[in-house]
Chains A and B, each alone.
Chain A
Amino acid sequence: DAGITQSPRYKITETGRQVTLMCHQTWSHSYMFWYRQDLGHGLRLIYYSAAADITDKGEVPDGYVVSRSKTENFPLTLESATRSQTSVYFCASSESRGHPQHFGDGTRLSIL
C-alpha cells in the first residue's frame, strides 16, 4: 500500500548505543521530516530534507544524524543514545509547500 512507513514501532535500548529509526514513503514526496513528541512540547522538528542529498537542521538537532541518499528513505540515527532522547518519533512527508504533511505511525523509543 502507498504511504509512509516507520520502523520499528517500539524500541528499547541502552544509553550509549547507536540506534537508527527508519522511514520510507511511496509517494515520491520531495520533503521529509523527523519530529519528536514529548509531553508539554507538542511536536518539535529534528531534521528535514527538501530532496535527496539535501538535509537541514530543525529546532532540536543535537545528538541526531540523518541522511537521504534516496527520495523515498529518510533514516534518523542516534549516534550515542541518551535518556533525554526517550520520546515518540514521527516521520512525515510533504509534496510541496502548503501541502499537508503526512505522518507515519510513530516510533516509541525508550532509552534505559
Chain B
Amino acid sequence: AQTVTQSQPEMSVQEAETVTLSCTYDTSENNYYLFWYKQPPSRQMILVIRQEAYKQQNATENRFSVNFQKAAKSFSLKISDSQLGDTAMYFCAFGPNFGNEKLTFGTGTRLTIIP
C-alpha cells in the first residue's frame, strides 16, 4: 500500500516570499500520478498541480511549481510570490496508474501567508 507523508503540519511566510511544502511517498510502482490540492477556509478542495511520474519535467502552474525527485520519492510544492489568498491547507496525494482510481492523501500542511 502506498503512503504519503507531509512532515510540516504548519508553516507561515511573509506575503510576496517563496515557500516550499514538502511531501514524500512510498510506492513500489514505477508509473503513477501525484497531485497537490489546496483547501482554503471555504473548505473546497481545489487542484493546484498534477505530475505524471513518467515525465521528468517538473510541472508548473503560474506561481506554483513542483520539485519531483522520483528516486527519492519526493514531491515538494513551491509557491512563488505568495499571496494572502494562498492561505490554506495543502494536501499532497498519490494516484496509481493501474487498478482503481483511489488517491492516497497526506495529512496536510496548514500554510498561513502573513501580510
Contact = CB atoms under 8 A, between A and B. Distances in A.
Interface of A: 31, 33, 35, 40-45, 48, 50, 56, 58, 88, 90, 92, 94, 96-98, 100-103, 105-106
Contact of B45 (A40, A45, A56, A103): A103
Measured as residues with beta carbon below 8 angstroms from the partner, the interface class of chain B is: 20 to 34
Instruction: Tell me what chain B mostly uses at the interface: helix, strand, loop, or mixed.
Output: loop
B25 interface: no
B50 A103 contact: no
B89 to A, nearest CB: 9
A40 B45 CA distance: 17
A101 B103 contact: yes
Chain A interface helix/strand/loop/mixed = strand
Nearest to B99: A97
B41 to A, nearest CB: 12
B57 interface: no
